Amino acid sequence: MSTTEASPLRIGKAAVAALGMLATSTGALESAVSPTLPLLQRELSLTPAEGALLSIAMLITGALLLPITGNLGDRFGGKRVMIRLMGVVVAGGLVSSLAPSLPVLLLGQVLQGAMLGAMPLSFILVRKYLSEGESSVAIGVVSGSFLAGGMLGTLIAGPIAEGLSRHWMFAIPTIGIAVTTLLLHRLMPDDPPGRPDSRIDWPGLLLMSGILLTLMLVLAIVPEAGSQPIALGALIVFLGVLVAGWVAVERRSRAPMVDLRLLAQPAIWSSYAITFAVCLGTSLSMYLVPQLLAVTGDGYGFGASATDIGFYLLPGAVAAAVAGPVAGVAVRRFGSRPAVTVGVICMITALLALVFLHGEIWHLVVGKVLVALASGVCVTAVVVKTATAVSHGDTGTATSLLLVIRVVAFAAGAQIGGAFLTAGIPAGSDIPTESAFVTGFVIGGAIAVLSLLTVRKLDKGVKE
């Protein structure tokens, strides 16, 4: 067996814990902007448009860098790329913590976006040094730790910014990333490079970057599609041209960035389809539930404050963090397909229940918990299936594309939810009708139902 398929070395719980701690630190830094955006707008005198740009800058750069870092990890070794990548993230965190103005803060956010590449690199490492059953649990731990870090960042960013300063809300998690990176460097053995002599597919890389940027622009226009139909149509056509060009380039490349034969495996394309459907439905509900808590309509809504909404959503955040390790254990014991099937059915049930039961706050809280738990189990189980359905040399590439789809689906769900609520505002009012929320929950459930059509494909085409 080649050195790229397995390694005689093993790693212990301390190394896996270091990966989890790093995921927690990056999750905390990633979530710092969202709860403190009003404060940043005040202190930096930002317009709403500038605030929106700041809130998505890291998301865009992360989506662009994910395929690159996964591919480089497969070629040159997960640890080597991870250490260098975290150096970029630490630099971004320091720039953000010292930023006196929006341009400098945007630069820091762009550099911090590299943190999303840590996930596929972690998956590369655990697959090389753990058995398949152990790596399933480790993947769940890393995924859950990132979500737990995001929850922690959401809770502490505001108090730190108000009690100390906005500078410290970036500096503290950045220090955590620096310390855990040094710990990981000490505990994790150097993994052998997979394909160090192969050339980088620059044309494929540039075309994929163009595809992701154009897709983000399309999603940004969706809520206002009625007022900008020509621009939306032109972007969709341009997106199609880029996709066609990328497929043509990858077919002819001697060292493609993404081997299209990999995407043709039923276990891989079905994993991507399930991830998109589940994350789209999850994102739609994540957008609608806070809006329904905040709105005050005729017989619906609760007029909750921002602080109250954060409190009501906290159980869902905890459920999402717990879902990763739970899914890892479930996959190890029962397999990915049963775990995904149960998760999707629970998610469909929760979303459809919200269609009829949303008249009490506890209805929304329980619904959000069930959706978060089911979604976390599904996505983690699919990540495990994707990682184990390919050779060790393709782990980073396959899982990074899965995470890109996850990012795009979450962005699309929020935009679709915004479009539904905008369309549901009656003339002369600024409050969406109750039917707009109901329609959103129905669409979310219907999208989740579609994912069941591909679940049976998860066990087909899996490598021996």
CB 94 within 8 A of CB 46: no
197 has pLDDT over 60: no
How far apart are the C-alpha atoms of 180 and 103, rounded to whole Å? 29
Most confident of 142-156, 187-201, 205-219, 232-246: 232-246
CA distance linking residue 118 with residue 26, whole number of Å:
9
Q: Per-residue pLDDT for 175 more than 90?
A: yes
Average pLDDT over residues 110-126: 84
The encoded tokens of residue 449 equal 């139902």
Q: Is residue 33 within 8 Å of 58, Cβ to Cβ?
A: yes
Average the pLDDT over each of 69-83, 123-137, 162-176, 193-207 and give the range with the smallest value.
193-207
Three-state DSSP at 301 gives: strand
Rounded to an integer, what distance in angstroms lies between the CA atom of residue 361 and that of residue 348? 20
Does position 461 have pLDDT exceeding 60, yes or no? no
Q: How confident is the model at residue 223 (pLDDT cuts 50, 70, 90)?
A: low
pLDDT confidence band for 368 (50 / 70 / 90): confident
Residues whose CB falls within 8 Å of the CB of residue 378, separated by 6 or more in sequence, listed in order: 274, 275, 278, 327, 339, 340, 343, 344, 347
Residue 389 main-chain phi, psi, to 5 deg: -90, -5
| pLDDT tens-digit series, residues 231-260 | 888 888 988 898 898 888 878 877 777 777
Residue 195 pLDDT grade (very low, low, confident, very high; cuts 50, 70, 90): low
How many residues make up the chain in this entry? 464
